[in-house]
Amino acid sequence: MSNAAHQSVLFDYLVCLGDDHLILGHRLSQWCGHAPMLEEDLALSNISLDMFGQARNLYTYAGEIEGKGRDEDALAFLRKEHEYHNLMLVERPNGDFAQTILRQLFYSQFALLLWEKLSTSTDERLAAIAQKAHKEASYHVRHAAEWVIRLGDGTDESARRMANALKTLAPNIEEMFANGEENTALTDAGIIPTPDSLRTAWRKRISDVFDEAQMDMAQLDVHPIKGARQGRHSEAMGHILAELQYMQRTYPNCQW
Amino acid sequence: MVSEAPGNTRSLEQQVWQIASDVPDPEIPVVTLGDLGIVRDVIVEKDGVAIVKLTPTYSGCPAVQMIEDSVRDAVHAAGFKCQVERVISPSWTTDWISENGREKLRAYGIAPPVRKSGAKPQLFERDSPQCPRCKSDNTKLISQFGSTPCKAHFQCEACLEPFDYFKCL
């Protein structure tokens, strides 16, 4: 593959991973001022901040590779819905706290495993971004896992809400591990791992948490929904972008 | 950590290094960027431009822009042209906080990190930082995330005062 084509694939990958972090960060920020208790308001907002930081690092690098003058803000705020390639998992509504924290466990455990692999990427800049993100993600996983255990193995109500959350989010898990043919050049060059290479380790870690949380791994084995990675999003994505892009659409090129 | 360079340039670099390192952290002004290990390198080019390389602590640290602006201003004020470069590798770690920095944090009421970077505690395993006020080891975690992403919120069970804990990264 030519270097230019190679760079184009890397750009797409960086933006895709940036989109996961932007959209999940945005979802978490929607809890600010509304969380069930102050400590969680702080926690979810701070995790959101970490995710935005990681998105910024990814988008900035992507913009440099593209070389068309698009910076992190242009990439974050100025694309059409089908141009965002985040997982559907991260655009799902927050629901109740159980759904939010289970979604966080699912995504952050995936991210932790991915960042670990990316830390030894043959692309130095991506490896550097990953080395920072990995340490931060480990705190996100701990926080989410501890809550899933407390709630799963909690009261009748907390267990019920956790079970509902699991049922709601189960169809969005497989998309995390779907390989894309378009990324073959990146995996061949040792820049990224294949998504499906993370599945076994992810299932083991989630299984360990579910054992303590009295939750059933079998609930994950449902027919998967995919398409968001290809830009085919759920209805929720439109609402997210309406909020996220409101200022730029109303006052184009506005600057803080 | 300053680049090796003959005579004059070297002392200019050391001068700029000191200026950058003495800039107080905007969030915790009792410690300096030098105390936190945020200043990574200084190069003074032949045309006299000082390039200061800084590293962000957390990926999402909201103080990064302010820190870079403060360093640029401080170096300008000392009569140098200055460019700030952000470097993210090697990753910033709390291991780079100087002993002096740790003491200043403690005196200010923030417990410094207990562990070295790379420690992997079990779920529900907790650090027991000493209370910065009464020095008791009987402290409990209130929230893993505090006023900033880099800090956790603790309370002392002995004197009952809350305090911030600088998390290990």
- What is the interface pTM, i.e. ipTM, of the complex? 0.91
- Does B62 contact A at CB distance below 8 Å? yes
Do B88 and A57 lie within an 8 Å CB cutoff?
yes
Backbone angles phi, psi at B50, to 5 degrees: -95, 125
Of residues B132, B162, B118, B149, the one with CA closest to residue B30: B132
Cβ <8 Å between B145 and A145: no
Q: Which chain A residues are Cβ-neighbours of B145 within 8 angstroms?
A: 39, 42-43, 45-47, 139, 143
**Positive/negative CA dihedral, A110, A111, A117, A123:** positive
Q: How far is A244 from chain B (nearest CA, A)?
A: 18
Q: Which of residues 2-31 of B touch A (CB under 8 A)?
A: none
How many beta carbons lie within 10 A of that of residue B79, not counting itself?
9
> Is A208 in a helix, a strand, or coil?
helix
Confidence of residue B2 (pLDDT cuts 50, 70, 90): low
Residues B24-58: pLDDT tens digits?
Answer: 999 999 999 999 999 999 999 999 999 999 999 99
Pick among A59, A135, A142 to test the B interface (most B CBs inside 10 A): A135
Say yes or no to pLDDT of B4 above 50. no
Does the beta-carbon distance from A52 to B60 stay under 8 Å? yes
In which residue are the tokens 């439109």 written?
A: A238
Confidence (pLDDT) at B6? 46
In tens digits, chain A (256 residues) has pLDDT values of 667 778 999 999 999 999 999 999 999 999 999 999 999 999 999 999 999 999 999 999 999 999 999 999 999 999 999 999 999 999 999 999 999 999 999 999 999 999 999 999 999 999 999 999 999 999 999 999 999 999 999 999 999 999 999 999 999 999 999 998 889 999 999 999 999 999 999 999 999 999 999 999 999 999 999 999 999 999 999 999 999 999 999 999 888 7
What per-residue confidence (pLDDT) applies to A180?
82
8 A C-beta contact, residue B109 and residue B118:
no
Mean per-residue pLDDT, B69-74: 98
pLDDT at B146: 85
pLDDT for res B20: 98
B-chain residues within 8 Å CB-CB of A136? 58-60, 149, 169
What would the pLDDT profile of B117-144 be if each residue is shown by its tens digit? 888 889 999 889 999 999 999 999 998 8
Cβ within 8 Å of residue B18, ≥6 positions away: none
pTM of the full structure: 0.94
CA distances from B101 to A170, A197, A233, B51, B53 (A): 47, 42, 48, 25, 20
| Whole-angstrom distance, CA of residue B114 vs CA of residue B123 | 17
CA distance linking residue A11 with residue B107, whole number of Å: 47
Provide the Cα torsion B52, B56, B61, B66; round to 10°. -10
pLDDT value at residue A126: 98
CA closest to A205 among chain B residues: B123
User: How many Cβ atoms sit within 10 Å of the Cβ of residue B126?
Assistant: 13
Compute the CA torsion angle B7, B9, B11, B16 (nearest 10 deg). -170
pLDDT of residue B58: 94
* Predicted confidence (pLDDT) at residue B22 exceeds the cutoff of 90: yes
Residue B90: asked if its preceding bond is cis (omega within 30°), the reply is: yes
- Chain-chain contact of A57 with B124 (C-beta, under 8 angstroms): no
Using the Cβ of B90 and the Cβ atoms of chain A, whether some distance falls under 8 Å is answered with: yes
**Cβ-based neighbours of A127, under 8 Å, separated by 6 or more:** A118, A119, A120, A121, B89
Separation between Cα atoms, residue B40 and residue B33, nearest integer Å: 10
Task: Calculate how close chain B gets to A129, using CA atoms only, in Å.
Answer: 7
Do B32 and B96 contact (CB within 8 A), yes or no? no
The per-residue pLDDT of chain B, averaged, comes to 92
The reply to whether residue A128 touches residue B147, judged by beta carbons under 8 angstroms, is: no
